[in-house]
């Protein structure tokens, strides 16, 4: 056995039995126990249906309770999210540092503890460095961009109104149409200022106070979340072992192995997609900033931040960020706005064909149609978070359905590959798969099925 084969077997043993798709098996119970099991299953289904019905009747109260629990547990949720994002850094340092420390320190436990401390410290330093660097880069530039926008947009709108009035001096159908729109808009603004402006100002001021309080509260939750993430990263192996222990205690071995396999696969899909998408969006934001700086466009940092942040949303993200950015630049300089649209199209082509595939690869295993379907469904149900998390969530569901279909096909001894089910391929009444080429060979040789 060569070294590569030995290393491969060792990695499979380290990952566990459930890293590959486990085998479905029967339960081997007696008929009496099977009848009792079916009766209990029917009872549980009816009870679950009744509970679901009463839950629908009390849906507002349940939704309020869930929101309250979510608000209370928000620091924990932040901590788990931060720990999940920092875990690759900790794993990388452990993989490099533990072998070195084990050679110098006799106690493996002490070596692992030192390595974990170094890994968590490095991950927190990287997180703080990234946050501070982004704030130092973004806040001055964003302030300048927003200040310029506030100072220049009114004059630009005034110039637009002057052009409309100039067109109005020409007695044409278009000028009359624009004049009527301008007249109705002016009357609406005057009525709004007389009736609703004061109330709106009061609402805005109260919302501003509440918004400041909410921002301070979220910052406090984030700080607590960082502290929670440190404890989670220190004890992640223990938490994993406890979850595995509970799974094996509650479910049969075959069911437990399937649950653990799906958990591992889901972590692989979510981790690869989310972390890869964050890296991809950061690269796109930097490239956008460099390109806009070279082209000397207005609102460079503001537009780059918008494009980079919205790029996290798959497929629709670039358009969500590019449209308002293009309008903003066009208000300052129409020609620059056109150049920006061309630049964004080129940048997204580079991202979609070069940068994205290199970083993300085929982490989801979904076709373009299912990606769009997942984004629209997730966005419609849960808004922006649903658009971001909808793709990996649907990828896990797609994997489960595909795995069940493959299991059913294996039981019927039919091919698993989708390409095997072409236009002229079929399964005969005896359950045998017949390919078009195989059928033609049988006809030529005179072989017929009994």
The rounded radius of gyration (Å) of the Cα atoms in the chain is 30
Average pLDDT (199-217) is: 66
CA quadruple 294, 298, 299, 303: dihedral positive or negative?
negative
Residue entry with tokens 């793709």: 391
Token digits of residue 164: 């409309």
Q: How confident is the model at residue 325 (pLDDT cuts 50, 70, 90)?
A: confident
C-beta separation of 118 from 93 below 8 A: yes
Percent of the chain with pLDDT over 90: 8
CA quadruple 241, 393, 127, 99: dihedral positive or negative?
positive
Q: How far does CA 428 lie from the centroid of its chain?
A: 43
Alpha-carbon distances, residue 215 vs 207, 218, 257, 310, 444 (angstroms): 12, 5, 43, 21, 77
- What values do phi and psi take at 117, rounded to 5? -60, -45
DSSP assigned state of 353: I
What is 377-394 written as a DSSP string?
A: HHHHHHHHHHHHHHHHHH
pLDDT at residue 266 is higher than 60: yes
Question: Is the pTM value of this prediction over 0.85?
Answer: no
What is 157-169 written as a DSSP string?
A: HHHHHHHHHHHHT
Comparing 54 with 85, which gets the higher pLDDT?
85
Average the pLDDT over each of 39-48, 145-154, 291-300 and give the range with the smallest value: 145-154
Most confident of the following: 117-131, 274-288, 290-304: 117-131
Q: How many residues does this entry show for the chain?
A: 450
pLDDT at residue 389 is higher than 80: yes
Average the pLDDT over each of 46-50, 157-161, 283-287, 445-449 and give the range with the smallest value: 445-449
Q: What is the pLDDT of residue 10?
A: 59
Q: What is the pLDDT of residue 440?
A: 47
Query: For 273-290, what is each residue's pLDDT tens digit?
Result: 888 888 888 888 888 889
3-class secondary structure, 403 = helix
- Total H helices, total E strands in the chain: 15, 2
What is 407-435 written as a DSSP string?
A: HHHHHTT----GGGS-TT-EE-TTS-EE-
Q: How far apart (Å, rounded) are the C-alpha atoms in residues 385 and 393?
A: 12
DSSP assigned state of 172: S
Q: What is the pLDDT of residue 165?
A: 63
Comparing 332 with 183, which gets the higher pLDDT?
332
pLDDT at residue 439 is higher than 60: no
> Domain-by-domain residue ranges, the chain?
63-234, 422-450
Q: How confident is the model at residue 121 (pLDDT cuts 50, 70, 90)?
A: very high
Most confident of the following: 24-38, 120-134, 160-174: 120-134
Average the pLDDT over each of 33-42, 213-222, 411-420, 441-450 and give the range with the smallest value: 441-450
C-beta separation of 90 from 123 below 8 A: yes
Query: For 84-102, what is each residue's pLDDT tens digit?
Result: 889 989 999 988 888 888 8
> With the CA atoms of 400, 406, 412 and 418 taken in that order, what torsion angle do they form, in degrees rounded to the nearest 10?
130
C-beta separation of 98 from 112 below 8 A: yes
């Amino acid at each position: 056995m060569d070294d590569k084969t030995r290393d491969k077997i060792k990695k499979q043993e380290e990952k566990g039995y459930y890293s590959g798709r486990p085998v479905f098996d029967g339960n081997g119970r007696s008929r009496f126990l099977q009848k009792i099991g079916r009766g209990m299953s029917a009872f549980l289904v009816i009870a679950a249906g009744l509970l679901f019905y009463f839950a629908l009747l009390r849906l507002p109260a349940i939704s309020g309770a869930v929101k309250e629990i979510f608000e209370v547990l928000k620091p924990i949720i932040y901590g788990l999210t931060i720990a999940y994002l920092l875990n690759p850094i900790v794993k990388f340092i452990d993989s490099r540092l533990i072998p070195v420390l084990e050679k110098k320190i006799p106690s493996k436990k002490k070596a692992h503890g030192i390595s974990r401390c170094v890994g968590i410290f490095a991950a927190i330093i990287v997180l703080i460095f990234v946050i501070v660097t982004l704030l130092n880069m973004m806040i001055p530039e964003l302030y300048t961009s927003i200040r310029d926008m506030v100072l220049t947009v009114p004059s630009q709108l005034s110039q637009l109104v002057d052009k409309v009035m100039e067109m109005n001096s020409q007695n044409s159908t278009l000028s009359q149409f624009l004049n009527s729109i301008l007249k109705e808009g002016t009357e609406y603004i005057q009525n709004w200022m007389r009736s609703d402006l004061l109330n709106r100002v009061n609402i805005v001021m109260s919302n501003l106070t509440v918004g400041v309080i909410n921002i301070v509260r979220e910052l406090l939750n984030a700080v607590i979340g960082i502290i929670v993430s440190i404890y989670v990263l220190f004890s992640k192996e223990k938490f994993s072992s406890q979850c595995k222990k509970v799974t094996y205690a509650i479910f049969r071995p075959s069911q437990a192995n399937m649950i653990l396999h799906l958990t591992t696969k889901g972590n692989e899909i979510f981790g690869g997609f989310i972390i890869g998408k964050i890296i991809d969006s950061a690269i796109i934001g930097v490239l956008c900033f460099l390109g806009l700086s070279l082209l000397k466009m207005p609102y460079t940092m503001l537009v780059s931040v918008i494009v980079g942040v919205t790029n996290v949303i798959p497929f629709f993200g670039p358009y969500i960020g590019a449209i308002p950015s293009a309008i903003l630049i066009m208000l300052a300089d129409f020609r620059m706005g056109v150049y920006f649209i061309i630049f964004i199209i080129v940048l997204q082509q580079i991202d979609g064909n070069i940068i994205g595939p290199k970083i993300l690869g085929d982490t989801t295993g979904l076709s373009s149609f299912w990606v769009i379907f997942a984004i629209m469904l997730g966005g419609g149900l849960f808004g922006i978070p649903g658009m971001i998390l909808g793709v990996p969530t649907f990828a896990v569901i797609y994997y489960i359905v595909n795995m069940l279909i493959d299991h059913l096909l294996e039981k019927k001894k039919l091919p698993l590959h989708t390409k095997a089910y072409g236009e002229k391929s079929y399964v005969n009444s005896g359950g045998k798969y017949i390919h078009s080429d195989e059928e033609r060979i049988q006809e030529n040789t005179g072989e017929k099925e009994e």
